[in-house]
């Protein structure tokens, strides 16, 4: 049951990504052509005769079915004391998180809020919790062992992608290790988004300021010297720490985040607001940002759509560089 749950949830995740790449969002496009839908029911025929594009609704029906079945299977697996060996596998919390994402993209807001809550509860049972302000007050986000990661790609030092030296994710995204970023000038946040972050928000430290300098105490002396030596531009990210926190090293074996618990709170806030309870959504957003990122934060939005826009902005800040606001 555990392994079947893995397969179904992974297939659902794959189709959900493809559905958004190859067609517009669910609402209002239900009958438009999406992607070929190949399962155990038609795979032999499809390998010989090809496969037509199924509608958006049909693809999402399959995604929902796979995730619902996976949640049932993984629930049973947990009852039988079968748990994942590490965070590269899909746990019950991740399956709920995937279905929360799916329902959000379908505008099924009440269901999305429920699944976000279920994901948070299941994750708590695994010891997963929001990263504290102190925990993100330094370059990090490089290991699945971090308390706020729900799911990620685990990279080993012996993997081929690491042996290449520079043909890997941290080479391009990292500012504190050896790689393409040292020569490309690094990756920067947009000026508009940066200027919109309160100075009291710890996340503003994730990028160099207008003088291309780090916020006070965010980098160690060694890290700051490395950044200065590279000559990075203003607003370059220093969010992602180097592997094992060794500055300038060429062993680019950083793990890659696929889901963090913070996303579930942002889903919950948006879904509550858009599902008919703007005050609840605003409260969820306020509590998250104020408690964990910016003690002076107050959400000024009041309408559901304005709260949704503020959630989008918070996703762009919180999940910057992780690819999760790509479809928003």
Structure tokens given for 299: 């959400």
Q: Which residues contact 134 (CB under 8 A, 6 or more apart)?
A: none
Q: Which residues of the chain have pLDDT under 70?
A: none
Q: Can you tell me the distance from the alpha carbon of 239 to that of 138, in angstroms, rounded to the nearest whole number?
A: 7
- Take residue 249 and report the two structure tokens written for it: 């090293």
pLDDT tens per residue, range 215-269: 999 999 999 999 999 999 999 999 999 999 999 999 999 999 999 999 999 999 9
Q: At which residue do the structure tokens 């993984």 appear?
A: 74
Q: From CA 187, how far away is CA 194, in angstroms rounded?
A: 13
* Amino acid 1: pLDDT: 97
| Residue in the structure block whose two tokens are 């696929």 | 258
Cα–Cα distance measured from residue 15 to residue 287, given in angstroms and rounded to the nearest whole number: 33
Q: At 122, phi and psi to the nearest 5? A: -65, -40
* Residue length of the chain: 328
**Cα–Cα dist 192/173, whole Å:** 20
Residue 78 in 3-state DSSP? helix
| Pair 252, 174: CB distance under 8 Å | yes
**String of DSSP letters for 173-210:** H-SSSSSTHHHHT--B--HHHHHTS-TT-GGGGGB--T
Give one DSSP letter per residue of 236-285, joined into a string.
BB--BPPGGG-TT-S-----EEEEEHHHHHHHHHHHHHHTT-HHHHHHHH
Residue 128: partners with Cβ closer than 8 Å, 6 or more residues away: 93, 147, 148, 149, 150, 261
Collapsed DSSP state (helix, strand, coil) of residue 89: coil
Whether residue 102 contacts residue 259, with contact meaning beta carbons closer than 8 Å, is answered with no
Which pLDDT does position 168 carry in this prediction?
A: 95
What pLDDT shows up at residue 59?
Answer: 98
Tell me the pLDDT tens digit for each residue of 269-282: 999 999 999 999 99
Other CB atoms closer than 10 Å to residue 39's CB: what's the count? 12
Residue with tokens 């060996």: 85
Strand partners for 33: 55
Question: 167 φ, ψ to 5°?
Answer: -95, 65
């Amino acid at each position: 049951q555990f392994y079947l749950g893995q397969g179904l949830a992974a297939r659902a995740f794959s189709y959900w990504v493809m559905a958004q790449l190859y067609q517009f969002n669910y609402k209002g496009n239900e009958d438009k052509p999406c992607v070929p839908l190949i399962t155990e029911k038609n795979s032999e025929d499809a390998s010989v005769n090809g496969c037509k594009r199924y509608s958006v609704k049909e693809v999402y029906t399959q995604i929902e079915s796979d995730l619902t079945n996976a949640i049932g299977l993984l629930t049973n697996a947990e009852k039988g004391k079968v748990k994942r060996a590490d965070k590269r596998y899909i746990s019950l919390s991740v399956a709920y998180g995937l279905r929360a994402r799916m329902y959000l993209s379908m505008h099924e807001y009440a269901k999305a809020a429920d699944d976000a809550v279920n994901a948070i509860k299941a994750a708590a049972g695994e010891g997963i919790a929001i990263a504290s302000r102190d925990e993100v007050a330094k370059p990090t986000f490089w290991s699945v062992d971090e308390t706020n990661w729900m799911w990620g790609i685990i990279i080993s030092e012996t993997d081929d992608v690491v042996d290449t030296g520079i043909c890997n994710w941290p080479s391009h995204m990292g500012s504190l290790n050896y790689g393409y970023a040292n020569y490309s000038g690094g990756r920067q946040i947009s000026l508009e988004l940066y200027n919109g972050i309160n100075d009291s928000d710890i996340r503003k430290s994730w990028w160099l300021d207008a003088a291309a300098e780090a916020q006070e105490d965010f980098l160690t002396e060694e890290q700051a010297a490395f950044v200065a030596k590279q000559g990075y531009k203003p607003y370059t990210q220093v969010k992602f720490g180097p592997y094992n926190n060794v500055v300038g090293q060429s062993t680019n074996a950083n793990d890659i985040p696929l889901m963090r618990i913070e996303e579930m709170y942002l889903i919950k806030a948006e879904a509550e607001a858009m599902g008919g309870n703007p005050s609840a959504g605003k409260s969820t957003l306020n509590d998250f940002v104020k408690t964990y990122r910016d003690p002076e934060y107050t959400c000024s939005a009041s309408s559901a759509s304005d709260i949704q826009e503020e959630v989008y902005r918070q996703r762009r800040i919180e999940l910057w560089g992780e690819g999760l606001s790509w479809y928003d």
